[in-house]
Amino acid sequence: MAHLPHAANAFRLAMRRFASTVSVISTLNDNVRHAMTATAVTSLSMEPPSLLVCVYRESRFHKVLQDQELFCVNVLYSDQSEASQAFSKPATAQDYDRFGWSNADGFCYLTDAQANLFCRNTRQISFGSHTIFIGTVLDVTLRESVAPLIFQNGQYGAHMPLTASRTT
């Protein structure tokens, strides 16, 4: 199939139809916190436990993450859309204070995230405009309830289970 001139725009519109869990990727550089909101995060392997994160190569966060050994994927809870918005642009020191970040064992992480996946930056693969960062998961913390923040078609939402319809 030939690449059509409108394919890039059509692809962008098609991707808006994907519902994605919102995460904030974080890392430390010389004890300074850096974070970025991301929806391009997915599991890669159960053995070893690993995931991938796609980061736009021209972003400030990419320049920091590419040189770090450790990073954390903070899976946001449904009530954390303000944190998502704050870290979708360069964050201030007040943003880190406002949303409750901690540092431990070389990681910085959002303490009340739905889940924290503490990763070693195992491999980086350049593709197109992005770099795929592969993280081997070293540890995980979980919030008891499951209610992820979802992003679809430019809007935040929450997952709602479908109820089975009854037939008589």
pLDDT tens for residues 140-152?
Answer: 999 998 999 999 9
CB atoms under 10 Å from CB of 139, counted, come to 12
Instruction: For residue 28, give the 3-state DSSP assignment.
Output: strand
pLDDT at position 166: 58
CATH of the domain at 49: 2.30.110.10
Residue 159 lies in a domain: no
What is the arithmetic mean of pLDDT over 119-124?
98
Residue 163 lies in a domain: no
Residue 67, domain extent: 21-149
What is the arithmetic mean of pLDDT over 21-27?
97
Q: Are 52 and 29 in contact (CB under 8 A)?
A: no
* Joined tokens for residue 168: 């008589």
Report CA 64 to chain centroid distance, whole Å.
16
Return the higher-pLDDT residue of 25 and 145. Answer: 25
Three-state secondary structure readout of 37-91: EECCEEEEEECCEEEEEEEECCCHHHHHHCCCCEEEEEECECCCHHHHHHCCCCC
pLDDT tens figures, 58-99: 999 999 999 999 999 999 999 999 999 999 998 888 999 999
pLDDT at position 163: 77
Q: How confident is the model at residue 3 (pLDDT cuts 50, 70, 90)?
A: low
Torsions phi, psi for 44 (to 5 deg)? -120, -45
* Joined tokens for residue 145: 């309830």
pLDDT at position 89: 93
CA distance 118 to 36: 15
Mean pLDDT of the chain: 92
Amino acid at 90: P
pLDDT at position 168: 55
Residue 160 lies in a domain: no
Residue 14 lies in a domain: no
pLDDT at position 165: 60
Counting the structural domains of the chain, the total is: 1
Residue 167 lies in a domain: no
